[in-house]
Amino acid sequence: MDQVYIPKNRRGFDIGAYVVIKPIEIEKIIEKPFFYNIKQIEPIKIDLIMEILNNINKITDKYENVIITGSFLDEGFNFSDIDIIIVSEERLNKIQIKKGIEDVMKIKIHLIILNNRTLMEGLSIDPLYQMMLSRCIAKKRFIYKIDYKIDYKILDLHLLKSKLLIDNFDYLNGTEKYYLTRNMVAILLCIKHKKINKEIVDKEIGKLFNIKGIQEIKQNILNKDEFLKLYKKIYNNTFNKIMENIKHGTK
């Protein structure tokens, strides 16, 4: 029989009182995540990320990596949700994980679950994947050697999303206009075989639309006629380049 000693000065326990002794449950310690092209980020966001990782660990451990990306990593707090990518070879319950995080943390998340093969394919042919992972925070270090190639049919599908801005300019807020513009410009850069990341795309937006910065779009203070005129011109130019390559059978 093991003996367990407890302090003589023990508030709340009388001599001879019965006690239950059991080991303390220690939660798994989450190591500091890896930062990719993140110059600075608010401490409260780091706390949120650590809490997200901790909550995912409580729900499942059948994953290889967790990646946080999107507007959440931008300076300030102008984001509507948190983009989370879980890389796993297992079949995970997306609804359960999403609900588990949102119920505990009271924040909205946009969750993507994919395996390594799908992720690599996306990075190889999809400029949006390339931009998404060019700036992120990951639980584990990752190094991907990508053989980039252009799939013009996929680019055509992605570009179609950006047509919404032309048809619905007056009904979209600044953030929505920015994302649709960024989508189009990222595709244009991809066609030109240019490197793609958030900073490069944002800089190109400023140059193409003759604006000082993307905040003019996000704050919805655009000159509608001038902006739409340029937007339609860039959209049609991008669309024609895609169609030309599809017509010639380029993959």
State how far the Cα of 109 lies from the Cα of 123, in Å rounded to an integer: 22
The H or E element spanning position 235 is helix 224-247
The pair of three-digit structure tokens given for residue 217, joined into one six-digit string: 């779009």
Could you report the per-residue pLDDT of 128-166, keeping only the tens digit for each? 888 888 899 999 998 777 777 888 998 999 999 999 999
Side chain identity at 177, as an amino acid letter? K
What is the residue extent of each domain of the chain?
34-138, 152-247
What is residue 14's predicted lDDT score, i.e. its pLDDT? 66
The answer to whether the beta carbons of residues 58 and 120 sit under 8 Å apart is: no
Predicted local distance difference test score (pLDDT) of residue 196: 87
3-state secondary structure of 83: strand
Residues 129/122, Cβ–Cβ less than 8 Å: yes
pTM of model > 0.95: no
Rounded-to-integer distance, Cα 124 and Cα 14, Å: 69
Contacts 24+ apart (CB under 8 A), 197-203: 197/37, 197/130, 197/131, 197/134, 197/135, 198/131, 198/134, 198/135, 199/37, 199/135, 201/131
In tens digits, the chain (251 residues) has pLDDT values of 456 556 666 555 566 666 666 655 444 555 789 999 888 899 999 999 999 999 999 999 999 999 999 889 988 887 888 999 999 999 999 999 999 999 999 999 999 999 999 988 888 888 888 888 889 999 999 877 777 788 899 899 999 999 999 999 999 999 899 999 999 999 999 998 888 888 899 999 999 998 888 889 988 999 999 999 999 999 999 999 999 988 776 54
pLDDT of residue 8: 60
How would you classify the pairing of strands 82-87 and 109-114? parallel
**CATH architecture of structural domain 34-138:** 2-Layer Sandwich (3.30)
